A and B are shown apart, each in its own frame.
Chain A
Amino acid sequence: MSHARPVRTVRLVRLLFALALAVTFACKPAAPKAFNPDGLSGPQILPPLPKPELVLTTTEGKPFDLKKETEGYVTLLFFGYTNCPDVCPVHMANIAGAMKLLGPEITNRIKVVFVTVDPARDTPEVMRTWLDHFDRRFIGLRGDSASVASAFTQLRLGQTVHEPGADTTRYTVGHAAIVLAFSTDNLAHVVYPFGIRQSDWSKDLTLLVERS
C-alpha cells in the first residue's frame, strides 16, 4: 500500500485544479467576443472608435447621456440637420426602411440616434416632425455646439462647416456623411458611408444584433 498516498494526492490535486478552474470561470465575466466583420457591408475601422462622451437633450426635453442611455443596444449614431436635402434624409430613409422590415426581436435591441449640427434651426418640434416622417422610434438630440464639436473630435470626424446661402436663414452645413454603428461593447467597429442600401442595412443590423 506504499502507492496509496501518492495516488490519492494526485486525485486531490486534480480535484482542486478542476475546482479552481470552475471558480475562475464562474466569477470572471466572459471576455468580450472578438468582433466578427464577416458578411457586413459596412467597412470595418481599426482601431474601433469608442462611444463618445456626449450629454445632450432629447426632442422631449429630457437629458440624454449617450453612453448610459444606449448601454446594451446596437446604436446607430448620425450627425445631420433637417434642412439637409440630400445625404441626411437618404440615410434616415434607408435605415427606417430596414427597421420596418426587421422584426421586434432585432429592432428592440437597436437605438437610432440623430444629433443635429444645426440647433439654431432644428428646434425640438422641427426635429421631431422630421424624424417621425421616417420612424417614431428615432431619437433626436440637440445641444450646444461645443458638446457636438467635442463628439466630432472624439470620433475623428473633422468639424462641421457653415456655408452661407442666399440670406442668413438659408445657410447649409457641411458635415460628416457617415453613420457610426456601435456594438454592445460600446465600440464602433464599422461605419456606413453614403451609398449603403436599405437591403445592406437589414442584413447588417441583424448581424450586429445577433453577434452582440
Chain B
Amino acid sequence: MTGLSRVALAALVLAGGCRKAGPPAAAASVGDLRIDRGFAFEPITAASGAAYFRIHNNGSIPDTVLEASSPAALSASFHGSSMAHLDVLAIPAGGEIELKPGATHLMLTSFTALPKAGDSLSVTLKFARAGSVTLQLPVRRYGQ
C-alpha cells in the first residue's frame, strides 16, 4: 500500500469511528473497486475467526477475489451461509457483494497471533483484475 492510501485509509477508519451509527469499520480502494464496512470478530480460540467487508465494483468489467490471506492466520477461505466453501467471489460490473454475519464470510483458521477487540487485523485480498489491497480490519467482540 502506498503512503498516501495508508493515510486515506487511516482517515476513513477514523471517520468511521467518529460516526455514532456503529462500531468502526475499514474502507479502502483499489482500481475500480471500493471496499468498505470491513471488520473482524475477535476469535474465541486460535482455531477460527471471521472477517467481513463489502466490495463495490465501479468498473464496467466484472472482477473476482482470487484469494485472501492474513499474517495472523495460517489459512483463509470464503464460505457461504451454510458453510459451503467458495473458491472465488465474483463482483459483477457496477455491482457489489457484501460479506456479513450469518451470510458469506471470510473464515480465518489456525491463528498464529490472536487479535483482541480494539486491535486491527491485517487482511490482504487479491483480485483477478484490480490487483491486491490490504485492509486493516477493526476487531470487535461477537455480539457487538
Q: List, in ascending order, chain A residues with CB within 8 A of B109's CB.
A: 83, 165-166, 170
| Inter-chain contact A97/B143, CB cutoff 8 Å | yes
Secondary structure of the A side of the interface? Answer: mixed
| Inter-chain contact A166/B45, CB cutoff 8 Å | no
| Inter-chain contact B47/A89, CB cutoff 8 Å | no
Q: List, in ascending order, chain B residues with CB within 8 A of A195's CB.
A: 102
Q: Which of B77-109 contact A (CB under 8 A)?
A: 77, 79, 81-85, 101-102, 105, 107-109
| Inter-chain contact A87/B142, CB cutoff 8 Å | no
Chain A nearest CB: distance from B92 CB in Å? 24
Q: Is B48 an interface residue (CB 8 A)?
A: yes
Q: Is A102 an interface residue (CB 8 A)?
A: no
| Inter-chain contact A87/B102, CB cutoff 8 Å | yes
Q: Is B139 an interface residue (CB 8 A)?
A: no
| Inter-chain contact B142/A82, CB cutoff 8 Å | no
Q: Whole-angstrom distance between the alpha carbons of A42 and B111 in the complex? A: 35
Q: List, in ascending order, chain B residues with CB within 8 A of A130's CB.
A: 44-45
Q: Is A92 an interface residue (CB 8 A)?
A: yes
Count class of interface residues, chain B: 20 to 34
| Inter-chain contact B75/A170, CB cutoff 8 Å | yes
Q: List, in ascending order, chain A residues with CB within 8 A of B47's CB.
A: 82-83, 121
**Which listed residue, B41, B83, B143, touches A163 by the CB 8 Å rule?**
B83
Q: List, in ascending order, chain B residues with CB within 8 A of A85's CB.
A: 41, 43, 48-50, 105, 107-108
Q: Is A84 an interface residue (CB 8 A)?
A: yes
Q: List, in ascending order, chain A residues with CB within 8 A of B79's CB.
A: 86, 163, 172
Q: Which residue of B is nearest A167, CB measured?
A: B75
Q: Whole-angstrom distance between the alpha carbons of A86 and B102 in the complex? A: 6
25 examples of A-B residue contacts, CB within 8 angstroms? A82-B44, A83-B48, A83-B109, A85-B107, A86-B101, A86-B102, A87-B81, A89-B44, A90-B101, A93-B142, A96-B143, A97-B143, A121-B47, A126-B45, A129-B45, A161-B82, A163-B83, A163-B84, A166-B75, A166-B77, A170-B110, A172-B79, A172-B107, A173-B83, A194-B102
* 5 pairs of A and B residues whose beta carbons are closest in the complex: A93-B143, A93-B142, A85-B50, A194-B102, A174-B82
